[in-house]
Amino acid sequence: MLSDDELLRYSRQILLKQIDVDGQLRLKHGRVLIVGMGGLGSPVALYLAAAGVGELHLADFDTVDLTNLQRQIAHDTASIGQSKVDSAMARLAAINPQITLVPHRQALDADSLAAAVSGVDLVLDCSDNFSTREAVNAACVAAGKPLVSGAAIRLEGQLSVFDPRNAASPCYHCLYGHGSEAELTCSEAGVVGPLVGLVGSLQALEALKLLAGFGEPLVGRLLLIDALGTRFRELRVKRDPACEVCGGR
C-alpha cells in the first residue's frame, strides 16, 4: 500500500495512466543497482530516488574531486574528499527519506559484483571504462537481470537496454566485443556536463519503464546522441548467436 504521504509525493506521476497506483507500487518495491556515482550515476540516482524506487544500491570506490563538480550533480564543494557513495547517499536521503540506500564503497570484484547483481531487479551501468562495463554485462547475463547502459564523452552519447529475459535482446558484448582500454575517458578527452545529464536522465527513464512496466524499453536499439548538432539517431541492433557472453542462453 501507499501511504497518504506517498500518494501526495508521487501524485504527478501517479496521474499518468501508464503508471497509476499499481506502477507506483512496483517502483516502491523495486531494487536497483547503480554502478558508478559520477556524471551518469548522479542524475540516475537523483531521479530514481525522487520517483520513489524503494531500494537503491550505490556502487563506487572513488572520492569526490574538484574536477567532478562540473558534471557530477549529486555532489557539491563540501563533498570534496568524501566517498562518492556517502556524498550521494546524503543528497538522496535529503530528497526522499522514505527509500532505502545500500552502499557499496569498495571496488566490486567478480564475486561481490555477482552478489550485488543477484540482489536487485535492475542494473544501471554508469561507469566510464570497458572492463567494468564488460564485467557488469556478464553478471547481468548470468543472473538474468536487465541492464540499462549509458556512455558519454566529448559531445557524444549512447544509450541502450540489454534484457536477458528477452530471447531477442543482444547483450553489451554483442555490440562492443571486448572494446579497448585505449579508449579515452572523460578525464582525458573531456565532456560537457549537460550531455551526461541527458544520458543519465534517459537511463533513469528507461529504468522506470522497466520497473513500473510501461512504454517500450530501448531493447534491441542503440540511441546515439550528437550534442554538437543536437541530433539523435537510432540503430537497430541484433543479438549475436555466437556471442561468448550471451550466446549460450
Choose among 226, 222, 48: nearest CA to 154: 226
Which residue intervals of 98-239 are DSSP H helices? 110-118, 130-143, 172-176, 186-189, 193-212
What are 184-235's pLDDT values in tens digits? 566 667 899 999 999 999 999 999 999 999 999 999 999 999 999 999 999 9
Q: What is the pLDDT of residues 27-56, one digit of tens each?
A: 999 999 999 999 999 999 999 999 999 999
Q: Are 28 and 121 in contact (CB under 8 A)?
A: no
Q: What pLDDT was estimated at residue 248?
A: 76
Mind listing the pLDDT tens digit for each residue in 93-139? 999 999 999 999 999 999 999 999 999 999 999 999 999 999 999 99
Per-residue pLDDT for 71 more than 60? yes
CA-nearest of 159, 161, 229, 157 to 193 is: 157
Mean pLDDT calculated for residue range 57-84? 98
Question: In which band, very low, low, confident or very high, does the pLDDT at 177 lie, cut at 50, 70 and 90?
Answer: confident
User: Residue 138's pLDDT is what?
Assistant: 97
pTM listed for this prediction: 0.96
- Other Cβ atoms within 10 Å of 69 Cβ, number: 15
Quote the pLDDT of residue 188.
Answer: 66
Q: What is the pLDDT of residue 190?
A: 87
- pLDDT score recorded for residue 187: 61
- State the Cα–Cα distance between residues 99 and 117, nearest whole angstrom: 19
Predicted pLDDT at 112: 96
C-alpha cell at 56: 537503491
Cα-Cα-Cα-Cα dihedral sign, residues 91, 129, 149, 221: positive
pLDDT of 81: 98
The percent helix, strand, coil of the chain (3-state, each to 5) is 40, 20, 40
Whole-number Å distance between alpha carbons of 200 and 192: 13
Average pLDDT of span 176-182 = 69
Q: So what's the pLDDT on residue 193?
A: 96
- Tell whether the model's pLDDT for residue 78 goes beyond 60: yes
pLDDT value at residue 51: 98
| pLDDT score of 150 | 98
Please report the DSSP string for 56-83 in residue order.
EEEE---B--GGGGGT-TT--GGGTTSB
- The Cα–Cα gap between 153 and 195 comes to 8
Backbone phi, then psi, for 109, in 5-degree steps?
Answer: -90, -175
